[in-house]
Amino acid sequence: MSVGRGVVLVTGGSRGIGAAASVALAADGWDVGVNYRTRADEAARVVKACEELGRRAIAVQADVVEPDQIERLFDTVTAELGPIGAVINNAGVVSPGGRVAEYDAERLDRVFRINSISAFLVAGAAVRRMSTAYGGAGGVIVNVSSRAAVLGSAGEYVDYAASKAAVDALTTGLGNEVAKEGIRVLGVRPGLIETDIHEAGRLDRLGATPPLARPGKAEEVAEVIAFLASDRASYMTGTTVDVSGGR
Ligand code: NAP
């Protein structure tokens, strides 16, 4: 069943949760702009998977920490596929494992720039195109946070957790800010999900710790993202859903 409403842009769509979300959204009837930073081959594979589901899709290289590249990304997707109706704010990185007392400014700048500042910049670009206050037709923003934002990630990466807590505040605040402008803003907080983001051995060490006693799959997060982006979630905004096996 096709339940989408047009064109969706997925940041960091070349791998992991973003790649799975791109495919799940295509299966829901969306045409997909697949953003990537470095992995053109992986992005091309995601585009092919979306096309095999009968949707249009393009891959667009852009570093979402750079405002001019974000503008080019949105403009390219709009020009090639049409007006954007949903944005999945997914691109993100973790920090190396370590204690707060050891963090330096360079490390903190990197994680907050990629996870927090870029999420704000991408959300702003989305609002300027989708908000009825800017002449748009409305839409949905889904921010990919992390359970770390609540758990705090002591001894691992408290800076990453804090950078995702900023994303949760963005979801709440922006959701309230643009609710009357036709835009719903939602978030997901994944737990331990099997992707390349983890340091070697981390999933083996922690994968069985959630109540559901296993790590999650990117597809299990993607399903929730696709639901939130769809009209099936039409009475939801300003809130974030845990997808974390109970952890
Ligand atoms: P991943 O497998 O490492 O994939 C990260 C994706 O983000 C890649 O497509 C990468 O592009 C892209 N990316 C990174 N920096 C970028 C930038 N500056 N500009 C554009 N694209 C950029 O990670 P993942 O596990 O799927 O994580 C996706 C999101 O889920 C992140 O926000 C992460 O914090 C969050 N999350 C993940 C987990 C988990 O357990 N996996 C748990 C909680 C939250 P290239 O491949 O082209 O470099």
Extents of the domains making up the chain: 6-243
Q: Enter the pTM of the model.
A: 0.98
Q: What is the pLDDT of residue 33?
A: 99
Q: Are strands 7-10 and 84-89 parallel, antiparallel or unpaired?
A: parallel
Q: Which CATH class is domain 6-243?
A: alpha beta
CA of 192 to the centre of ligand 1 (A): 13
Q: What is the mean pLDDT of the chain?
A: 97
Q: What is the pLDDT of residue 1?
A: 42
Instruction: Describe the strand order of the beta sheet including 239-243 as a list of residue ranges.
Output: 57-61, 31-36, 7-10, 84-89, 139-144, 183-190, 239-243
φ, ψ at 68 (rounded to 5°): -70, -30
Q: What is the CA radius of gyration of the chain?
A: 17
The secondary element (H helix, E strand) that includes residue 189 is: strand 183-190
Q: Compute the distance between CA of residue 111 and CA of residue 217 in angstroms, rounded to an integer.
A: 24
Mean pLDDT over 211-239 rounds to: 98
Q: Compute the distance between CA of residue 137 and CA of residue 116 in angstroms, rounded to an integer.
A: 26
Tokens describing residue 237: 């905004």
CA of 17 to the centre of ligand 1 (A): 7
Q: Which of 27, 19, 87 is nearest to 54 (CA)?
A: 27
103 tagged catalytic: no
At residue 3, does pLDDT exceed 70? Answer: no
Mean pLDDT over 141-149 rounds to: 98
Mean pLDDT over 53-78 rounds to: 98
243 bridge partner residues: 190
CA of 94 to the centre of ligand 1 (A): 8
Q: What is the pLDDT of residue 2?
A: 47
At residue 4, does pLDDT exceed 80? Answer: no
Closest protein CA for atom 44 of ligand 1: 146
Burial profile 192-207: b = 16 or more Cβ within 10 angstroms, e = fewer? bbbbebbeeeebeeeb
Ligand 1 binding pocket mutation candidate from 9, 10, 11, 15 (most atoms within 8 A of CB) = 15
CB atoms within 10 A of CB 240: 24
Mean pLDDT over 166-194 rounds to: 98
Mean pLDDT over 80-106 rounds to: 97
Q: Is the minimum distance from the CB of 14 to ligand 1 under 6 angstroms? A: yes
Q: Compute the distance between CA of residue 98 and CA of residue 199 in angstroms, rounded to an integer.
A: 12
